[in-house]
Structure 1
């Protein structure tokens, strides 16, 4: 094990955003600025042809990737939420122009560009402590596969690489604000997963401040909510529920295309020769060919980023107001709708129920009841959705709920853990 004085970093590699924090010598942490002094780095990649680059294809990540995409959308390949496929055995490679890239290759490219924008703060690290979800995203997540891919992705990034449950890192961070022994439930809501840890926090100055009691997680979070909105507002314009002719039969259009459009990690990957050829054949036999044509245009025009922005804006507005306007204009597609918070909450009702059941499971695993929980700490962007917060206020009461550091608490907690001489007590 390295000494705690070595260069150590906590890295919250998130589905939507990535944040890094440097562990200080005095038990403090500092967020690492990236790209124009911002400390939140979008987990996204953009590829484009460039004859001056070896291999003829250039790549950027984070805000620079977004800027490149916005300047040349039709000539780019924009990938986002690719962390969601880490545990997916069905994911093999992502097509990017003439090449295909494995998950770990995408991850290494992302880390290289993140380090380049960090001004040397992520170079020559002794230790990196990386956050990971309690339960990986996907219908059948493969834990061993995700670990293998992460190991390959982070190989060479630091002399030591450790993995810690994301809500446990948030608990470690929040514990620094507590002044008395506390049984703490941390709920971390990201883009791909919702994760929960129950931690017993000792009094300040204790030899071991945090003792994990139990964890639970589910692959349902912000991206799933986005998919519900796409299903209701967008997919009907792209042919969902439609039919096509096959010889003398009229059949329903397969649902797989629509499921992929609604999944940020898959939408950009639909822009490949085989999928577009299949959709073109479907368009010619569809009863409503214009709808399938709009789907093809959405894919060919790399419109996922604009669609993501429109949906994110709607969710943020509904977190503040009882109703909000949705507007998307791109690829010859114009969708405008007024959405009430009540409607949105009805669309995600099943997801909320599954999240609530996972909270129950975390308490059971930890061997505690709701009455044993002294404080609840909510973090992650999706924790700002009122219906998500209501799960906890209904059970624990408003007085026990605390929130904050939605985008940074995990990175700070990981950096605090990275200062420990032996991180084995924390690793997942």
Structure 2
């Protein structure tokens, strides 16, 4: 058996958050912590902020993570804030993002993000380990996700590291992390709920000390998760105040406002791009013919005043509150827009019921692929922020029983497992099957 590499780096490049972990032994992996403005944390927001600045090469300065949020909040109307750009990796319709006078391809945004991600990690990742393991979703976001395109974009993005990169399914990384807790053989199902995708893997774990401790059996995924749940709240509570469902006059007819005007509010990667001359001209024209012009004026205020970040923070706060409370209030107050709405957990669960049904079907597909009945699963490990939603947990409790469910390290388990997989002498067996 080949010796383990000296150091390996696990990178969980997530839709909402990204995490780094370093391993230097078969059972040892440490999270990289960031001295962020809001306090030290191992979780780094997958966000970018760009602004114009004289004296900077190209005239465009940028930051990432918590520092990007800090820059944006300090000067929102003079900057461009981008979050969840991972969600366009497999989208052939996305070519470039226009930021001031420049246009950035996906891989260029990714390279800027990696530059700051590693810079803020500091000495912990210097020198950069020779072996790098990067997580990837089982299924990318999008109804027509182009996996080959996503792979090319990932390759171009991570080429900036100057290292060979090994791609591993994200839930497999979480499975490897969870397996390190076990002291006896077991078959485990890992459910990873990210911002953009929900991914599932089934793994057999052998006894400690076995030459091949873990054996992957099956994987499945679907391109919906936490961001979709957020949009359900936006769609019910926010968009009606911005004109969705309203009408406009066209000559002697009254027509419904086309839903395309509101599509960008469902995707952070597109919402950040709405503040353009062309979009604002279109909205001002719509306001002139709208039956309720004040609603369109509120939408214009959201776009012009860069209120999208604050809106989604409020929506995310409501979602998190409903994970521990039977009801909560959405509160948002800013220029041109005021929203207060009481929501019960039952209402929220009704809104996301269609999404949960599709997630359940994806879990069943993984079980069918593995050829296993629910009784054959010893442990179900739930990870990712949306795994804390009671209705999500109930989906697994109904299938496997509450006693088999486990959770913990919801935001860091993937990176932890990826770093440990990097220590494996048999790394090739963990590489995502279409990456080999």
Superposed counterparts of 1:311-322, under 5 Å: 311-322=315-326
Q: Who is 2:78 aligned against? A: 75
Superposed counterparts of 1:6-405, under 5 Å: 6-25=6-25, 27-36=27-36, 37-123=40-126, 124-405=128-409
Superposition TM-score, scaled by structure 2 size: 0.96
Contact 1:190 1:381 (8 Å CA) reproduced:
yes
Q: Deviations over 1:176-207 (max 9, x none)?
A: 11111111000000100000001111111111
What is the distance in 2 between the residues matched to 1:47 and 1:8?
31
Deviation of residue 263 (structure 1)?
A: 1.8
SS of 1:313's equivalent in the other structure is: helix
Deviation of residue 399 (structure 1)?
A: 0.8
Deviation of residue 265 (structure 1)?
A: 1.9
Contact 1:294 1:332 (8 Å CA) reproduced:
yes
List gaps (5 residues or longer) in structure 2. Answer: none
Contact 1:125 1:157 (8 Å CA) reproduced:
no
List gaps (5 residues or longer) in structure 1. Answer: none
Q: Deviations over 1:223-253 (max 9, x none)?
A: 0000000000000010001112223332221
What is the distance in 1 between the residues matched to 2:132 and 2:277?
39
What is the distance in 1 between the residues matched to 2:303 and 2:95?
20
Q: Deviations over 1:33-63 (max 9, x none)?
A: 1234421100000111111211111100000
What is the distance in 2 between the residues matched to 1:170 and 1:233?
34
Contact 2:6 2:24 (8 Å CA) reproduced:
no
SS of 1:118's equivalent in the other structure is: helix
What is the distance in 2 between the residues matched to 1:138 and 1:35?
34
Count the aligned residue pairs: 427
SS of 1:156's equivalent in the other structure is: helix
What is the distance in 2 between the residues matched to 1:367 and 1:89?
34
SS of 2:209's equivalent in the other structure is: coil
> RMSD over aligned Cα, in angstroms?
1.3
Deviation of residue 6 (structure 1)?
A: 4.1
Deviation of residue 26 (structure 1)?
A: 5.6
Deviation of residue 213 (structure 1)?
A: 0.6
Contact 2:27 2:180 (8 Å CA) reproduced:
no
What is the distance in 2 between the residues matched to 1:121 and 1:146?
29
Deviation of residue 110 (structure 1)?
A: 0.2
What is the distance in 2 between the residues matched to 1:348 and 1:334?
24
The verdict on how the C-alpha distance between 1:75 and 1:229 changes in structure 2, with shifts beyond 3 A counting, is same
Contact 2:321 2:328 (8 Å CA) reproduced:
yes
What is the distance in 2 between the residues matched to 1:34 and 1:355?
33
Superposition TM-score, scaled by structure 1 size: 0.97
Bigger drift between 114-123 and 333-342 goes to 114-123
